[in-house]
Amino acid sequence: MNKAEFVSFMANEHDCSKAEAERALNMVVESCIQAMAKSTGVNLVGFGAFSVQKRNAREGRNPKTGAKMHIPAYNQPVFKAGKKLKDACN
């Protein structure tokens, strides 16, 4: 399901307009991005937890040529599903 389909789904499930549903979705997504940019995790009980994980610099290989290359350190966004979400999927 892409974003437009999800907005339509939200609007139908909660009896609101597509504009209101899209505005709500955009607020949640932007707020999560801003919080994670500050390295603050977002925990939505039952749904899951978004967090930032520090990845150390390491040495890798170019799969095409086999040449060694340096992979710099970076922050990796991580999502861990909550119990309610896991139960709904199974």
Enumerate the H helices of the chain as residue ranges.
Answer: 3-13, 18-37, 83-89
pLDDT for the residue numbered 40: 85
Q: Residue 55 and residue 12: Cα distance in Å, rounded?
A: 41
pLDDT digits (tens, 9 = 90+) for 35-88: 999 888 899 999 999 999 999 999 999 999 999 999 999 999 999 999 999 999
Chain centroid offset of residue 61 CA: 28
Q: Residue 47 and residue 30: Cα distance in Å, rounded?
A: 17
Return the HEC string of 51-64: EEEEECCEEEECCC
